[in-house]
């Protein structure tokens, strides 16, 4: 894609003179809602380049990303976290021999589930007094924050659309990586939080942090911090026995409480800095004791960017369990040498499914292919608790655990344990080594055959409990892991069995599919008194249903958490209910999955 853009630029510049400057006529700066429109003032790139020694990123630091009057701290704070990631900056704004000369810049951003090259110019709006209306060109040289902000504004349809947004989206635009959310409150274990911060920063992950929507003092600021405002979390240290975090402000709303007077950087780092640069840093950056974090901040967004890793993105597939007749499109990967991988699932969010966002739980299973191209031995199984969209980001992503894999051919199967709405997704294969030895294609499977076989294989391979005979010839086996439980039934008799399974769980806030929770059953007796019995054909088996807890942000608390869901079951067999006169109104319905014969 980048090579094609360079070819286009070279053709475009053929008619340019040596001093000609590019002007992007495609960008509408705003819809007229911003005050600077009334001034009609813009600092043209030829003015910038005439009076300054400009660079895109000669020596980038977090303080170079400086928010203007526009409310886009959600973008500026993540920009601050990438400043010292030189490789990432070079990927976002690739170096070339024409950008600085002609003011024509290529910015690589991840939008709508794919990488895009955005063309922008170097002209920046000013306010009535001549100050920058949006991100500033700090210390006269570094252009990268202004250019990235402008490219995001162009993709969103104008600077006015930068007014407020989710940190999730900013990190995704910049890195294409998945994110996670950590809640902060007075129940947060500071020891666990400190260990987690040390782990995340040692992995090179990027962290932004947001203040409370309402401070205890009821004011717009508290100890210098602005409410409902995003900051960057850049470093941690132990100073005189106190655990400190370095908080970077997108503007001058900085922490001025305990330890704020401690210099943000060491003398070794700042010895060659000008006084102006030191003042800018001291006005916006401060150390803060970890004990004070939850008093002012309520959440951290962590971007799992891995510096130096490679990625391979696939085309889209559709998961549509429950839609009879719809084939499954399953990813098949061909690996020629042993490597370390992470498999990531990316979903373009459909607004009409917002109410289901917190209900999605699943597993990513990786299987060897058999000689006849079917689902074989299970190699890796990763739970993906899909708390995908705490805020309305443009797409959602989750990833598997990191794993080593031998040469071979494998199927990557995504199994939704919960909601049955159609899910359009694509895969990302990530590795710390080049991926030129990996290729992929897709194989179509009839209806739910691949997903079902994957779950059955998972239960056979990982299930700890043996089969239990719950009626003569009717066997059950359950498998619980992390935040879900799945139940398999086998009918060893010569006739079909119609069954309802009711479960009482040991956890709150659970939901179910196939299996009915006791609470839901009691509600249905009132609102929908028709009993729905699922039919298990003779001498067959299937995954009968699942129970799961609703996934949410990470909570770092000392309380003991239940590691697995456990259930007690009530079984109702239609034949028995008819004999006892308890079957009043009922229907027979197929199961979630199509039953398979018992071997």
Among all chains, which residue has been given the structure tokens 């630091």? Answer: 61
Q: What is d(CA 157, CA 167) in angstroms, rounded to the nearest whole number?
A: 18
Round to whole Å and give the CA distance between 79 and 76: 5
Give the residues across from 245 on adjacent strands: 236, 288
Cα gap 435→335, rounded to integer Å: 9
* Rounded distance between C-alpha atoms, residue 227 and residue 251, angstroms: 13
Q: State the catalytic residue, choosing from 73, 146, 179, 303.
A: 73
Task: Quote the CA–CA distance of 450 and 497 in Å, as a whole number.
Answer: 24
Of these residues, 229, 367, 394, 452, which one is catalytic?
A: 229
Q: Buried b vs exposed e over 543-553: b needs ≥16 C-beta within 10 Å?
A: bbbbbbbbbee
Contact between residue 256 and residue 286 where contact means Cβ atoms under 8 Å apart: yes
Longest dimension (CA), the chain: 94
- Residues 215/296, Cβ–Cβ less than 8 Å: yes
Contact 295, 166 (CB under 8 A): no
Count how many Cα atoms sit within 13 Å of the Cα of residue 353 in the half-sphere of its side chain.
19
Helix (H) or strand (E) holding 301: strand 297-303
Count of CB atoms situated within 10 Å of the CB of 456: 18
298, two tokens: 């309520």
In the block, tokens 């020891």 appear at 191
- To the query of whether residue 229 is one of the catalytic residues in this protein, the response is yes
Cβ proximity of 514 and 546 under 8 Å: yes
Tokens (6 digits) for 49: 């380049």
H or E element, residue 369 = strand 361-369
Alpha-helical (H) ranges within 434-570 are: 449-462, 518-527
Decide if 73 is catalytic: yes
Contact 342, 432 (CB under 8 A): no
Q: What would the DSSP string read from start to end of 62-96? A: GGG----SSS-HHHHHHHHHTTT-HHHHHHHS---
- Rounded to whole angstroms, the Cα distance separating 236 from 233 reads 8
Q: Give me the count of residues in the chain.
A: 599
From the list 46, 96, 185, 251, the catalytic residue is 251
Residue 31, φ and ψ in degrees, nearest 5: -95, 15
Annotated catalytic, 282? no
Beta bridge partners of 426: 316, 346
Tokens of 439: 């290729």
Task: Say what the alpha-carbon torsion angle 421, 410, 441, 308 is, to the nearest 10 degrees.
Answer: 90
Asked if residues 456 and 486 have their Cβ atoms less than 8 Å apart, the reply is no
Tokens of 553: 């942000």
Rounded CA-CA distance 425/371 in Å is 27
Nearest to 293 by CA among 350, 352, 326, 245: 245
Residue partners of 401: CB distance under 8 A and separation at least 6: 342, 380, 382
Count of CA atoms in the C-beta half-sphere (13 A) of 133: 23
- Give the residue carrying structure tokens 């303080």: 63
Catalytic residues: 73, 229, 251
């Amino acid at each position: 894609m980048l090579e094609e853009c360079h070819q286009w630029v070279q053709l475009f510049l053929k008619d340019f003179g040596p001093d000609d400057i590019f002007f992007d006529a495609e960008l509408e700066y705003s819809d007229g809602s911003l005050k600077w429109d009334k001034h009609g003032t813009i600092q043209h790139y030829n003015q910038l380049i005439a009076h300054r020694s400009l660079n895109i990123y000669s020596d980038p630091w977090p303080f170079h990303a400086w928010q203007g009057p526009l409310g886009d701290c959600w973008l500026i704070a993540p920009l601050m976290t990438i400043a010292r990631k030189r490789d990432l900056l070079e990927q976002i704004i690739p170096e070339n021999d024409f950008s600085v000369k002609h003011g024509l810049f290529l910015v690589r951003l991840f939008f709508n589930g794919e990488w895009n090259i955005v063309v922008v110019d170097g002209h920046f709006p000013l306010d009535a007094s001549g100050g920058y209306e949006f991100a500033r060109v700090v210390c006269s040289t570094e252009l990268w924050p202004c250019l990235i902000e402008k490219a995001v504004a162009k993709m969103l349809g104008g600077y006015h659309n930068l007014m407020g947004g989710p940190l999730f989206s900013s990190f995704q635009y910049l890195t294409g990586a998945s994110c996670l959310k950590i809640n902060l409150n007075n129940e947060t274990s500071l020891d666990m939080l400190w260990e987690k911060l040390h782990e995340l920063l040692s992995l090179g992950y990027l962290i932004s942090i947001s203040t409370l929507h309402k401070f205890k003092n009821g004011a717009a600021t508290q100890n210098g911090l602005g409410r409902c405002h995003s900051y960057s979390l850049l470093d941690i240290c132990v100073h005189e026995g106190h655990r400190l975090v370095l908080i970077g402000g997108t503007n001058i709303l900085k922490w001025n409480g305990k330890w704020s007077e401690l210099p943000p950087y060491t003398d070794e780092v700042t010895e060659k800095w000008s006084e102006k640069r030191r003042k800018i840093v001291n006005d916006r950056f401060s150390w803060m004791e970890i004990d004070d974090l939850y008093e002012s901040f309520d959440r951290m967004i962590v971007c799992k960017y891995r510096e130096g890793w490679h990625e391979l993105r696939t085309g889209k597939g559709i998961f549509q369990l429950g839609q009879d007749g719809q084939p499954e499109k399953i990813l098949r990967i061909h690996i020629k040498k042993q490597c370390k991988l992470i498999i990531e699932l990316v979903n373009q969010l459909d607004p009409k499914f917002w109410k289901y966002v917190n209900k999605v739980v699943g597993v990513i299973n990786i299987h060897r292919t058999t000689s006849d191209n079917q689902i074989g031995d299970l190699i890796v199984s990763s739970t993906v608790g899909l708390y995908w969209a705490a805020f309305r980001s443009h797409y959602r992503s989750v990833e598997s655990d990191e794993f080593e894999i031998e040469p071979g051919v494998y199927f990557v199967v995504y199994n939704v344990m919960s909601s049955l709405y159609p899910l359009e997704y694509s895969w990302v294969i990530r590795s710390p080594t080049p991926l030129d030895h990996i290729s992929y294609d897709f194989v179509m499977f009839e209806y739910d055959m691949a997903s079902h076989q994957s779950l059955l294989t998972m239960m056979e391979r990982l299930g700890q409990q043996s089969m239990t005979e719950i009626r003569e010839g009717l066997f059950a086996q359950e498998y619980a892991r992390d935040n879900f439980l799945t139940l398999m039934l086998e009918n060893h008799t010569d006739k079909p069995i119609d069954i309802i399974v009711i479960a009482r769980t040991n956890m709150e806030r659970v939901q179910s599919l196939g299996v009915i929770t006791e609470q839901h059953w009691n509600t249905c007796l009132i609102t929908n008194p028709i009993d729905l019995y699922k039919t298990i054909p003779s001498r067959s088996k299937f995954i009968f249903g699942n129970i799961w807890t609703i996934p949410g942000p990470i909570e770092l608390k000392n309380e003991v958490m239940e590691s697995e869901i456990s259930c007690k079951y009530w079984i109702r067999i239609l034949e028995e209910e008819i004999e006892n006169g308890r079957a009043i109104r009922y229907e027979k319905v197929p199961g979630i999955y199509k039953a398979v014969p018992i071997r």
